[in-house]
Structure 1
């Protein structure tokens, strides 16, 4: 009887040929070459690593497609997927429509292009690479550690595994095993994935498979691949193998029977690896070529971090995160290939990780370097790989915030990285909201978990009705003050950090209090506690009292309490920045807030502080980038940012732009009324110009007078001292404008007033109204001298009688 034909992709029965050692003579007749570490002849480049047993005549290895063909195959597979637009939600991803599972089967499962990392006992050498244009060898030895490798698939189409799963073919290979598509014959042919081992002779790999089984069985996270079953299958390629299924569903672990190979049965995920998504991003293809691409990358990061957090809570680390180990299916993601997952309490064995994605301390120390932070490094490297080929950049400050969040995640010193997956996810979401808001110019607010929104406004005067002293200083026609606060007052207008929940005094500090700063300092001392957060709270109280030396002493105590963690605690930098502002050292404060921004790239508080520092330093372009990022993200709570943007417009002489910004503050904002007052003052204000004060035109003044009755002033009353002062300010400017135009017309430097412009009747009306307002202001004077000054001012603007 003729022997049955060997199925495609499967090695003929019988023992494997023994590879020749490095340096052995080339087995080809008449060849004087030697076997090199690549597995090829040194003279003629023959593939000679696998020699036929019992004779010098070598047999060629299983034919192998060159790497370019493998890359072409991956590209062809990727084209089977269609990608539709994403929804409008913050974390929404493009929708991937998948082909039939059978369309994903690889017809020529060979050595992966570029080879694979050996991984045996931590060996980082690459095995199975092509040589001199020839295909790579599927079987051989690592030239560094000498360990054998075998990339030949164990299963062929039609094999029945475990008496239940009919193999269709190979679809991929992971770090340790081939992945096959199979149909569950007991569940109406439902597609499943079978994963076995590449190096089934490797006890380390076998132990890792046990770990993967344990992790998969215990995992119930929707973004982690789900295990269904585990079975073993008779290895037809081993000694005496007959190719028939001798399935087992008992508890035998991998390697319990050398003639059986263990397979994990998992849900079949029909989607693209993120490495395929990266290719589409690089090509700018479909939704991955849109301006929203960085938002998709950050969405991947947030979803992956949620899955990692579920592992970390079980004291497990993933270790081997990379684009090939994450799949995008439909509008979701799934972590696959958990063979490298390990318990943090297990410090034995070796770490499996991909080159370029493994944290440096793990490369240097092995398992001793593993931690939650090493996992976060792999995620940062994965996100960077996805985005580095993108031709587009996030708008505004978004590009810098994105770069900073990756820089912290991949810092060489693990203590400089994020402390947990949840902490990193919060910052990723913050950067995502920032980029989305800057792109769409619509807010995407989310309360900060680190900073409390302040009730005060980063504005010295623009949003306030001018005080009575404005008319008592002797300066009759002052320029409009844009309201940039002095550095010493800024610490009181910036957001306040929430107490660290881990601080022993967190509960005490979270209690509301009506005590003033002096009494609060005394009460905290009386508590008998000396914690970092108590020092910070006392520091802010001392700044409020102007006691800078005492504030510096509290900062020194907090640094001492933190000990070796002090260089990595952003709270120290924040409070040092506040102290520098109180000392009017804006440049030093900017450096401290830069460090906070690096640590917390998704937070708005350090950007608001940096915006002020840049504005104070005379760098309007930098200030605008910071203010705009804060303002666009949360317009209802970030009134300080829009006032900063308005000041920048006023400095450029853009009255209309400043009013438009201030007028866009939502009514729900606590600073809404201040913004409406500021609009009126800007419309009627004297701005600094090149040749003198820049006065508003007729339409600006009309708009100011039109807005005045709608302002909420004097506790809602239609008349009162605040409304009188604001109206008097507008009338003064209106009268000045009339006088300037009248004087210009008399001298001939400007044409006479035309229809609808200033007239003598208009001047008479303005003088009459202003005189009445100034006499009303005189009633607000606290002293006789002020009363007299205001009466004199009223008399000076009194119109001449017509009779």
Structure 2
């Protein structure tokens, strides 16, 4: 059968209805059944390459998320216009089924219909330079071939020759192309967001390739580079002027998520996110190519997307396109572009930041819908947390950004390093000594960790904000009065019972919370968090660590799981892992003094006295634990490493620091100062007995001169003061006097007494 579709064509129509020369089928609305699409051989034709020397910067910057300063770039005008608009034969694929089309050597077809699925293709432009579309838009050149059409640069002759983009759909008689065309007409002209390309108009022009009229969307022209181009530039060793640090990539993703959040709040889905559809302009990130935008409740329109960035067929069949499938594409984009990248210039070598990035990507592109992030805002919040870990440390004077997930905790994870020794330190040294440099017990950590904020939408969320500060007994009474089933009520009950030391009833409350959750309870991080708290209370630190690690996987940008993991690692003897997590928390938030105390304990355990003092000195003045840190410095300077007393330099510094402490309400004399002075004198005497007084400076605490006899007299006097002023019973009084007698100098009278 001879072809009748194109005048003058001498081709023959094959068995499925397409000409073997022009590739066109007779005009019709139906057609043979479409076979299943094959995997794409590539991601599609490459976009225009980056400029030869990379985009220059004039020194100005713009800031993303209040964290990352990005350079303002300058791109040459019209740099994206292709000098040769023809697509090479080895890059010609059907936009729908990815089958090779338009090939065949000298007889290749530049436009036609796919022999497999009938989708139109065109590898040559339908418009030429100088064409005037709709008597308004003058074509400047050919920019690119998109997934379902062609893209041109034009000038708006009615508006100061402003540059615009004309995006063409190949053939509006095709039902799939028509559906996308209608969708763009309906939705896109109303969208207005700084990270989404603006759609101005919809016009038609005669179709030179297929006949009839072709529709064009008129949109904002964006001069810049796609993320695909930026990534290729970063991989090219000959192009050092175009790096793509990981922190910059996350900043771009933050802007992408802002765009997706806007679309999702409008009840729309994007569906076709990939690096080629994100443009980095001089000072902006923008989503382009909105042909796939659809209503979230639309389950019948053809789905536009790029195979690598789409969820699996099973999910599309059962759930269709969803918010979480859009976020899956974000995860895939980060995985592809982030492979092999480093944090960036000036960033510390902190492997926890890279671990957090990998966990963020893993959750975003999880195979199971239930395990992914539920919203663009949620993913953006965690992404910002990861960014904090990849950037240089924050100033100690800079307030940390509060978490939207965890409330701040006033607790300090310390069991004595930051406190003046109590009298029992001398009267009952077996039960009250500073063990393991003040590491707290697991149960104390369980009740001191940050508390999850109530989830919005829970019926008790507002109620809990008014009763959360009550003592555990009164809180339980208040919770019992709330008569509406609530997950948050049960979790609050669980925490109150843990504070009261009642793990069995706390477990019952946690079980009740799991029963109230909709869906699979294993996907809710709050249950894992409270299960970990219960394990800590019961002393099962390894199990607690495993559950905290699961929460870290769900919330990779939060510091609370890392603080918990640091303690668990410290308790189980994994000092390297504990230091990694404590350092990460401390770099991000100088108000979480528990991290500083954890690092101090670990450094003291490694006999790094200067390191312990250094981290404690970094606790800022506006921290509620600043005074405790200053006390901890004095105690760190006087602590003994095994049988080795502190050296002279440490003791001299302890004397200096002790004089500057504000104790006993600011009084120059008082019980706390007397006890802390006694610890310094004991350490000094141990040093003198072992090595002599060389190197010890004169001072009010050590006495003048700091000889053995002088230190003994001063220490004996201190013990007598403690016995007289602080002993609470006859036994304590006697013990302290015995210590005073033991400490006093070896005079002739004492030798006779002994």
- State the partner residue of 1:380: 331
Q: Is the 8 A contact 2:396 2:618 kept in 1?
A: no
1:735 and 2:685 aligned: yes
Give the secondary structure class of the aligned counterpart of 2:521: helix
**Which one of the candidate residues 435, 440, 450 is aligned to 1:495?**
450
Any conservation in 2 of the 1:683–1:700 contact (CA below 8 Å)?
yes
Alignment equivalent of 1:405, drawn from 357, 360, 369: 360
Offset of 1:173 from its aligned partner?
2.1
Q: 1:437 to 1:771 in 2, by over 3 A?
A: same
Counterpart among 760, 767, 789 of residue 712 in structure 2:
767
Change (3 A) 1:173 1:671: same
- State the partner residue of 2:270: 318
Q: Secondary structure at the residue paired with 1:334?
A: strand
SS at match of 1:429: helix
Change over 3 Å in CA distance of 1:597–1:15 after alignment to 2: farther
Q: Which residue is equivalent to 1:277?
A: 230
- After superposition, the Cα gap between the structure-2 partners of 1:620 and 1:80, relative to the gap in structure 1 and judged at 3 Å, is closer
C-alpha separation between the residues in 2 aligned to 1:482 and 1:660?
A: 16
- Alignment match, 1:621: 576
Task: Flag the 1:142–1:781 CA change in 2: closer, same or farther, 3 A.
Answer: same
Structure 1 Cα separation of the partners of residues 108 and 250 of structure 2: 37
Q: Conserved in 2, the CA contact under 8 Å of 1:305 and 1:422?
A: yes
1:612 CA drift (Å)? 0.6
Q: Which residue of the partner structure matches residue 358 of structure 1?
A: 310
The alpha-carbon distance between structure 1 residues 15 and 585, as it changes in their structure 2 partners (threshold 3 A), is farther
Task: Note the alpha carbon deviations across 1:503-559, whole angstroms, 9 max, x for none.
Answer: 101111100466421221122112323311111111111111111111011011111
Aligned position for 2:219: 266
CA distance in 1, matches of 2:129, 2:495: 72
State how far apart, in whole Å, the 1-side matches of 2:729 and 2:494 are.
39
Counterpart check, 1:161 vs 2:115: no
**How far has the Cα of 1:127 moved from its partner?**
3.6
SS at structure 2 position matched to 1:491: helix
Of 630, 633, 636, the residue aligned with 1:676 is 630
CA 413–441 in structure 1, closer or farther in 2 if over 3 Å, else same: farther
Equivalent position of 2:437 in the other structure: 482
Indicate the SS of the match to 1:718. coil
Q: Take 1:356 and 1:718, find their aligned partners in 2: how far apart are those partners?
A: 71
Q: In 1, distance between residues paired with 2:46 and 2:146?
A: 19
1:242 maps to what in 2?
A: none
Q: Which of 494, 511, 515 is 1:556 aligned to? A: 511
What's the counterpart of residue 795 of structure 1? 741
Aligned to 1:249: none
Aligned partner of 2:34 in structure 1 is none
Whether the 8 Å CA contact 2:271–2:325 is kept in 1: the answer is yes
Between stretches 621-630 and 104-113, larger displacement belongs to: 104-113
**Matches for 1:340-489 after TM superposition, within 5 Å:** 340-361=292-313, 365-366=316-317, 368-390=319-341, 395-437=350-392, 445-473=400-428, 481-489=436-444
Q: Give the secondary-structure state (helix, strand or coil) at the position aligned to 2:76.
A: coil
Q: Which residue is 1:567 aligned to?
A: 522
> Cα distance 1:80–1:679, how it changes in 2: closer, same or farther (>3 A)?
closer
Provide the rounded CA distance (Å) in 1 between the counterparts of 2:13 and 2:394. Answer: 60
Aligned to 1:183: 155
Distance 1:330 1:512 in 2: 50
Q: In the alignment, what sits opposite 1:90?
A: 67
Q: Deviations over 1:298-331 (max 9, x none)?
A: 1111111111111101111000000111100012
CA distance in 2, matches of 1:502, 1:476: 48
Partner of 2:179: 207
- Asked if 2 retains the 8 angstrom alpha-carbon contact of 1:701 and 1:730, the reply is yes
CA distance in 2, matches of 1:80, 1:432: 25
Distance 2:407 2:696 in 1: 55
Contact 1:448–1:603 at 8 Å: present in 2 too? Answer: yes
With over 3 angstroms needed to count, the CA separation of the structure-2 counterparts of 1:116 and 1:213, relative to structure 1, is farther
Q: TM-score, normalised by structure 2?
A: 0.88
Distance in 2 between the 1:18 and 1:173 partners? Answer: 29
Q: Does 1:128 align with 2:104?
A: no
Q: Distance in 2 between matches of 1:450 and 1:426?
A: 9
- For residue 42 of structure 1, what is the aligned residue in structure 2? none
Quote the offset at 1:140 in angstroms.
4.2
Shift in CA distance, 532/117, structure 1 to aligned 2, threshold 3 Å: farther
**CA positional deviation for 1:653:** 0.6
Equivalent in the alignment of 1:647: 601
Deviations 1:566-620 (A, max 9, x none): 1111100000000000011011111110110000000000000000111111111
Q: Is the 8 A contact 2:497 2:503 kept in 1?
A: yes
For 1:42-82, what per-residue CA distance to the aligned partner results, in whole angstroms no more than 9, with x for missing partners?
xxxxxx754899xxxxxxxxxxxxx99x9898336575733
1:482-631 matches, cutoff 5 A: 482-512=437-467, 515-631=470-586
For 1:192, the equivalent position in structure 2 comes to 164
Shift of 1:671: 1.1
Separation in structure 2 between the aligned mates of residue 493 and residue 16 of structure 1, nearest angstrom: 84
Residue 245 of structure 1 corresponds to: none
Calculate the TM-score normalised by the size of structure 1. Answer: 0.83
**1:105 aligned to 58, 67, 81, which one?**
81
Matches within 5 A, 1:200-239: 200-238=172-210
Structure 2 match to 1:725: 675
CA distance in 1, matches of 2:8, 2:412: 78
Distance in 2 of aligned mates of 1:134 and 1:686: 87
Alignment partner, residue 645 of structure 2:
695
Q: Show CA shifts across 1:129-159 (max 9, x none).
A: 767x999743344343344433332100010
Give the equivalent residue in structure 1 for 2:726.
780
Correspondence for 1:709 among 645, 652, 659: 659
Corresponding residue SS for 1:694: coil
Q: Distance in 2 between matches of 1:429 and 1:19?
A: 59
1:662 alignment partner in structure 2: 616
Q: Deviations over 1:470-511 (max 9, x none)?
A: 101256996774111121221122111111121101111100
Q: Cα RMSD over matched residues?
A: 3.2
C-alpha displacement of 1:267: 1.4
CA contact (8 A) 1:271 1:327 kept: yes
* Residue 264 (structure 2) pairs with residue 309 (structure 1): no
Structure 1 residues 116 and 641, CA gap change in structure 2 (3 angstroms): farther
1:96, distance to aligned residue in structure 2 (A): 2.0
Q: Which moved more, 1:199-208 or 1:79-88?
A: 79-88
Please give the secondary structure, in 1, of the residue aligned with 2:290.
Answer: coil
Structure 1 pair 230–51 and aligned structure 2 pair: CA distance change class (3 A): closer
State the shift of 1:109 in Å.
1.2
Residues 15-164 of structure 1 mapped to structure 2, 5 A cutoff:
15=7, 17=9, 50=22, 74-75=48-49, 77=51, 79=53, 81-83=55-57, 86=61, 90-101=67-78, 103-111=79-87, 115=91, 118=94, 120=96, 124-128=97-101, 137-164=109-136
Q: 1:309-368: CA deviations, max 9, x gaps? A: 11101111000000111100012111110000101222113211102101125x653594
Task: Tell me the SS of whatever aligns to 2:629.
Answer: helix
1:3 matched residue in structure 2:
none
1:343–1:500 Cα change, 3 Å: same
